[in-house]
Amino acid sequence: MFENKNTTPLSQLGEFGLIDHLTKSFPLVQPSTLQGVGDDAAVMNFTEGHTVVTTDLMIEGIHFNLSYVPLKHLGYKSVMVNLSDVYAMNAYPTQITVSIAVSNRFPLEALEELYAGIKLACKNYKVDLVGGDTSSSSSGLIISVTAMGQVENEKITYRSGAQPNDLLVVSGDLGGAYMGLQVLEREKEVFKVNPNNQPDLALYSYCIERQLKPEARKDIVELLEELAIVPNAMIDISDGLSSEILHLCKASEVGCDLYEEKLPCDPSTSSTAEEFKMNSITALLNGGEDYELLMAIKTEDYDKIKGHPLLTTIGHFTDQKEACNMITGLGQSIPIEAQGWKNFNKDESA
């Protein structure tokens, strides 16, 4: 990383000089932003509706591996994972703060790449960078992003509102990010054996992009508004479909029936799973990091979403005593278990 370039040590700028350097080119576009970077605190004026706030940590060696994750992509993704949480509340993001801790192996040019990705995310989603912090780290890179957003009072959507007979609906397709990770991990191991190997990843471009440069589903929130649909409950798919279904059901005190044959899968995801001798259903249920939106939709709104290319009805909610089950293509009912990403696993590794 930047070994063959003339690089600038961070000590040459100092903490405040570094913040100024990395954030000076970020424009402010939101009318609710009164003061951004440059004072003791940011100032926002949220005059209508509810304000939502979310934050996430991304830690090198736990959430990302810089041997195959470009820093610009990492910066972009670190913003996306937070904006996705805002959209999951049926809200629109308006501001973010970004804090980083870095070791001395990162020169200024590396952080410029990281912030180039952050800036692109802010531009594409029209959010303002209004603050943050920098610190030294004894090892690796840590990124913390906080996102704020707004939503009209009557449109805010929690996890806890699903009702029996509501439709279980998901945006986009699933499993691609997980299969992209499998490809990148495989090529990392190949590189260890043969550093001169140049992999041809063209066949896996869809899955790799889903892993390295996910997009938060702003378009789905806009679509719901256009269709005059307010979901009864919603969550974004970061830890895997099975985990998120169980989160919705627990918060809403309902059960659900999920239909295996209804799960949306891109052809490149299924072909990559086949190459890895993996059942694609495993990737769809447990992969995570797709950042699609999973929601409970009233049955009377079915005609509004029927056949829509961006939305798929994959099941329905039931009475709590019926628990959470997947109905296979053979008609068997199998309990849904959360097997996606879990923090603090005993066998957790990079």
Whether 87 and 151 have beta carbons less than 8 Å apart is answered as no
Domain edges within the chain:
10-154, 159-335
One CATH from 3.60.10.10, 3.30.413.10, 3.30.1330.10, 3.40.50.720 for 10-154: 3.30.1330.10
- Each residue of 107-165: pLDDT tens digit? 999 999 999 999 999 999 999 999 999 898 988 999 999 999 999 999 999 999 999 99
Which CA distances in Å does 107 have to 8, 38, 63, 114?
5, 23, 21, 11
- Each residue of 63-110: pLDDT tens digit? 999 999 999 999 999 999 999 999 999 999 999 999 999 998 899 999
pLDDT bracket for residue 39 (50, 70, 90): confident
pLDDT bracket for residue 268 (50, 70, 90): very high
- Strand stretches in the chain, DSSP E: 33-35, 43-44, 50-59, 92-102, 128-136, 141-151, 167-171, 233-236, 255-259, 293-297, 311-318, 324-327, 333-335
Instruction: Identify the pLDDT of residue 350.
Output: 36
CATH placement of domain 159-335: 3.90.650.10
Helices vs strands, H then E, count in the chain: 10, 13
Question: Are 10-154 and 159-335 in the same CATH fold?
Answer: no
Instruction: Identify the pLDDT of residue 2.
Output: 53
Q: Indicate if the pLDDT at residue 306 is higher than 90.
A: yes
Q: What average pLDDT does range 219-241 have in this prediction?
A: 97
The more confident residue out of 167 and 192 is: 167
Q: What does pTM read for this prediction? A: 0.92
